[in-house]
Chain A
Amino acid sequence: MSFNSLIAIALGYVIFLFAVAFLAERRAIAGHSNWLQSPIIYTLSLSIYCTAWTFYGAVGYAARSGLEFVTIYLGPTLMMVGWWWVLRRLVRIGRAQRITSIADLVSSRFGKSTQLGIIVTLISVIAGTPYIALQLQSVTLSFAVFSQVEGVSWDQADFYRAAVWVAIGLAVFTVLFGTRNLDANERHHGIVMAIAVEAVVKLLALVAVGAFVVWGVAGGPGAMLARIDASEINLWDQNSGRWIGLIFLSAAAFLCLPRMFQVLVVENADERHLHIASWAFPLYLFLMSLFVVPIAVVGLDLLPAGSNPDLFVLTVPLNQGQGGLAVLSFLGGLSSATSMVIVATLALATMVSNHMVVPLWLRLQGSQHATMSGDVRHVILLSRRLSIAAILALGFLYYRVSGGGTALAAIGLISFTGAVQILPAMIGGVFWRGATGVGAAMGLITGLLIWLWSLFLPSFGADAIISEAVMTNGPWGLNWLRPQALFGITDLDPLVHGIMWSMLLNAGMFVIGSLVTFPAPLERLQGAQFVNVFDHSNAAPTWTPAAAGAEDLLIMAQRIMGGNEAQAIFEQEAKAQGKAGYLPEVTLEFIERLERELAGSVGAATAHAMIGQLIGGSSVSVEDLIAVADEAAQILEYSNRLEEKSKEQERTARALRDANAKLTALSIQKDAFLSQISHELRTPMTSIRSFSDILREGEMSTDEQARYAGIIHDEAVRLTRLLDDLLDLAVLENGQVVLHEQTGNLSDLLDRAVRTSGAYDGRLTILRHRPDENFNLTADLDRLGQVFINLISNARKYCDAATPELTIKVGRSSMGAFVDFIDNGSGIASDNQALIFEKFSRLTDGSKAGGAGLGLAICREVMQRLGGDVAYLANVAGGAFRVTLPPAKNPAKLEQT
């Protein structure tokens, strides 16, 4: 295998990738993007987590520290397996808010803050650059391995030259497929497809080398395990801090690395892809790391002492004369490096462009120019392309400055730790509504400073940036500020030390800062939307009505999104509003929507600023927020009242139903009474007529005449009494009665009533307690007597006991004096108790007594006129009525009733 043919193969592979990306873009534009958006592609695109550092470096790592290498894969596995917790939420927020990068997420969450966007972008660039340098190094190293086989040993200049070419090639690819369109939410199908292909290549390469090592060299899994046990590698020689610390670090980095955020959230086409990726990506990681230890063990056995274990993946096949396998492995490494660099560069460039260049440019242009001059789109795309070039140039510079030695190899985990500084702000932002922008900024800056001081600057080596003296004694002799022994904690592993302090203080400052500051209105709105992303809550308007012309907005939108897209959005909105033409009414909803569309292109902060410039910066105020809250409270109040009202209506309806039932019952009673009364009137009339006929015929004795005349008289009296009752009731009901006040003794009154009611005939025994009755009262005593008579004669008529008894009991209650009439019969059924005081009512079985059913009605009318009452006592054995006597009144008043 000559070096030149390797170059040819590498070039051919790169051209193949260009073709794949190009075809994928073509298919996506043609609308055949279904299979491009499959969960498999999504899972494979996540594999950019496995960079060249892991492709080559994992074996070296295993050769040096045994099982520890696996922590780098365990963290992401846990994250994916636990997707329901964090990833699902991030993906949902990313889609709902059209997030373009992790800096956009943080900036957007904390009130579309430009400053936070800049801070996150800075952290990401500082942490990401060494990592890009690392990839350039690994690619050049792998080239060097092949040239060494030919006997040509590379010097430093050769390395640099190769690195420059690799960097340029990557920049071209990224610019070509990464900045084709502006809307990051339209996704980069070409790039995603290319990295998916690369993911397959690197997996195949590593598995092929692994399989060759296990079955080709060692002779099967069993032999391999024996060889591992015999090897000089100590698989588990750990301090526990590193094991836990690195699992945490890799899990957090999986979320916070800009490139991972890009593929996980921004390029995610469908939330359901997470279902598959949740186990498929761990499977990928599993396969990637399965053969790492065998390769390391066999490499240490086969290759001469002092060989670089980082390159075993290449050198073991070469050593065994497997040129083809070595080339495949080389392509795997190349794939790992290029896919990572492309996505990382793209993500970083988007952040730099959206959060640093464009805001700066807008500020320089001034507000009046922003609406007038040239096509912003070109400016943004240009700034993105320049950012890509700049970031790759930075990576190359870093590579060159650091000298590409072992110092660089150590940077991988340090770079992870830098990226992870975003974790508290991000996780706090999406789970905690109380998180504020000030807190986030404080945490981020604290974390960045500690990371720089304790990990990043020392990584350049002793005396490179931080002098040896400062390392051992601290700056200015401040012992507690020693970079790797902050606050006097000396025994920790430097990396664990850095992770622990940066994370603790970062999170601590974030929480404290959030607790003591008060968020701006927009921040609170955004916070609510992020944290409650699953509630489908409608966004509160973030703009107040202002005079922005639809035309101005269209001009601006066109400049960012391009003419066709912008016009399509405006036309669609106009149609939705039912307006003809292209320009819709500028409603708040429309501005919201437009801002979101723009945010998909230039990030939330910039989009917000641009809209703000156009509509006069009248963003949401505290008053608006309160108004919104008030409105919600009013709606709640209103619906509460509605509910109250409907309850009231229900009550009324129930009362009406009851009344209706009563009316129906009464009407039936009345019908029965009418037939009864006709019968009652008719019976005496019939006797009177027939006996008067007999009398008219004569021819009878005087006795007979007297008897018949007596019958006629009795019947006439009965008729008169009935008519009197009716008349009496009518008078009482119409309130025409005149009461005659008298004062008398209750006992005398009762004596008279008992006598008049004919209760002394022996049929009814009357029980009284005279001392209670002995007091005077002032009322219409005749009327009161009438009530007593009625009640006593009722007892006489209706009491169904074998030896009827009536107890007349006088007592006092809070209502005044009362007289109870209690018999020992069966009483009145509870169904009928409500009816007995109605006129015309008469219990069916009472017809034998011949009453017309007016007595109790008259009683009640009388008592109410007198100012007392008569009621049925339901809870007493037997029929029982209570007459509440009228209270002692001023006689003058009574005259008026």
Chain B
Amino acid sequence: MNRPQRSQVMLHRANYRQRRLRDAAKLLPALGVLLWAIPLTWPAASQDAQGGIGSAGLLYVFGVWVLLIVLGAALASMMRPIIDTPEVEGSEEE
């Protein structure tokens, strides 16, 4: 019978942190896309006098990978496992 409670306007510091962690988790794939799009600017080996980017390119791609894994692990470990926190999708309340 009660009306849907209006979401809190301000959050406690801890909850605030959790929300920003979630924001970071949401942004992580965008970071990955960005970094892995950089190889598109490399010269192709067949058209390049020095024979292309070589093993440096390999190291770059795998380096980005390690970065994403480490960031992902850090975020996951700091995030509280939330199972039943109702969330207002779309309208970020803070």
A-side residues, CB < 8 A to B, are 66-67, 70, 74, 77-85, 225-226, 228-229, 234-238, 240, 243-244, 247, 271-272, 275-276, 278-280, 282-283, 286, 290, 293, 532, 534-536, 635-636, 638-639
- 21 residue pairs A–B, Cβ–Cβ below 8 Å: A67-B58, A74-B65, A80-B72, A84-B22, A228-B55, A235-B45, A235-B52, A236-B42, A236-B57, A238-B40, A243-B39, A275-B81, A278-B72, A279-B69, A279-B73, A280-B73, A286-B65, A534-B86, A635-B1, A638-B1, A639-B3
Q: How far apart are B54's CB and chain A's nearest CB, in angstroms?
A: 4
Contact A81 B68 (CB under 8 A): yes
Q: How far apart are B34's CB and chain A's nearest CB, in angstroms?
A: 11
The 8 Å CB contact of B32, one of A77, A229, A271, A286, is: A77
The 8 Å CB contact of B29, one of A82, A234, A280, A635, is: A82
Question: How far apart sit A235 and B43, CA to CA, in the bound complex (Å)?
Answer: 11
* A282-B72, A534-B86 as given contacts; A236 in contact with B29, CB under 8 Å: no
* A81-B28, A235-B53, A639-B3 as given contacts; A70 in contact with B61, CB under 8 Å: yes
The 8 Å CB contact of A228, one of B1, B36, B58, is: B58
Contact B29 A67 (CB under 8 A): no
Q: How far apart are B47's CB and chain A's nearest CB, in angstroms?
A: 9
- Closest residue on chain A to residue B84 by CB atoms: A536
- Closest residue on chain A to residue B54 by CB atoms: A229
Task: Give the chain B neighbours of A276 by CB distance below 8 A.
Answer: 76
B-side residues, CB < 8 A to A, are 1-3, 22, 25-26, 28-30, 32-33, 36-37, 39-40, 42-46, 51-55, 57-59, 61-62, 65-66, 68-70, 72-73, 76, 79, 81, 83-84, 86-87, 89
Contact A272 B86 (CB under 8 A): no
Interface of chain B, main secondary structure: helix
- Closest residue on chain B to residue A83 by CB atoms: B25
Contact A78 B83 (CB under 8 A): no
* A84-B22, A275-B81, A279-B73 as given contacts; A286 in contact with B45, CB under 8 Å: no
Enumerate the 10 nearest inter-chain pairs by beta-carbon distance, A residue then B residue, closest first. Answer: A82-B29, A279-B72, A234-B45, A279-B73, A272-B81, A225-B55, A237-B45, A228-B55, A229-B54, A275-B76
Contact B29 A78 (CB under 8 A): yes
The 8 Å CB contact of A243, one of B40, B58, B81, is: B40
- Closest residue on chain A to residue B79 by CB atoms: A275
Question: How far apart sit A290 and B65, CA to CA, in the bound complex (Å)?
Answer: 10
Q: How far apart are A237's CB and chain B's nearest CB, in angstroms?
A: 4
Question: How far apart sit A70 and B59, CA to CA, in the bound complex (Å)?
Answer: 12
Q: A240-B40, A534-B87 known; 5 other A-B pairs, CB under 8 Å?
A: A67-B57, A81-B28, A81-B68, A236-B44, A534-B89
Task: Give the chain A neighbours of B37 by CB distance below 8 A.
Answer: 244
Q: How far apart are A15's CB and chain B's nearest CB, in angstroms?
A: 36
Task: Give the chain A neighbours of B52 by CB distance below 8 A.
Answer: 234-237
Task: Give the chain B neighbours of A271 by CB distance below 8 A.
Answer: 81, 83
Q: How far apart are A211's CB and chain B's nearest CB, in angstroms?
A: 16
Q: How far apart are A577's CB and chain B's nearest CB, in angstroms?
A: 23
- Closest residue on chain A to residue B70 by CB atoms: A279
Task: Give the chain A neighbours of B66 by CB distance below 8 A.
Answer: 286
Contact A238 B29 (CB under 8 A): no
The 8 Å CB contact of A235, one of B22, B36, B57, is: B57
Task: Give the chain B neighbours of A278 by CB distance below 8 A.
Answer: 25, 72, 76
Contact A234 B46 (CB under 8 A): yes
Question: How far apart sit A70 and B43, CA to CA, in the bound complex (Å)?
Answer: 18
Q: How far apart are A639's CB and chain B's nearest CB, in angstroms?
A: 5
Contact A78 B33 (CB under 8 A): yes
The 8 Å CB contact of A238, one of B28, B39, B73, B87, is: B39
Task: Give the chain B neighbours of A639 by CB distance below 8 A.
Answer: 1-3
Task: Give the chain B neighbours of A70 by CB distance below 8 A.
Answer: 61
Question: How far apart sit A878 and B86, CA to CA, in the bound complex (Å)?
Answer: 64
Task: Give the chain B neighbours of A225 by CB distance below 8 A.
Answer: 55, 58-59
